[in-house]
A and B are shown apart, each in its own frame.
Chain A
Amino acid sequence: MEVDVKMTEVKSYSKLGEALAKGDFILTGELEPEKTCDLSHTIEEAKQIAPYVIAANVTDSPLGIVTINSMAATHLIQKATGLECVWQMTVRDVNKLGIAGMIMGAQALGIHNILSLTGDHTALGDMAESKPVFDLDSATLIKLVREMVDKGSINGYEIEDPPKLHVGGAANPNSEPMGPEILKIGRKAEAGCEFIQTQVVYDIDRTIEFLTGIRKYKVPILLGIFPMKSYGIAKGFDTFVPGVSVPKEILAKWKSVKKDVTDKKQKKELYDQYNYELFKPFVSELRKKNLIDGIHCMAVHYPRIFPKLKDIIGA
Chain B
Amino acid sequence: MDNKLKISINDLHFSYKDKSVLSGASLRIMENTINAIVGPSGIGKSTFLTTLNRLWDTTSAEMTGKIEIFFHGVPQDIYDPRFPETTLRRKVGMVFQAPNPLPMSIFRNVAFPLKLAGKTSRGETEESVEKALRQAFLWDEVKDRLHKDALLLSGGQQQRLCIARALVLAPEVLLLDEPTSSLDEKAGAVIEELLVELKKNCTMVIVSHYLAQVDRIADTVHELVGGKFVTGRR
Binding partners A and B: no
Residues of A within 8 A of B (CB): none
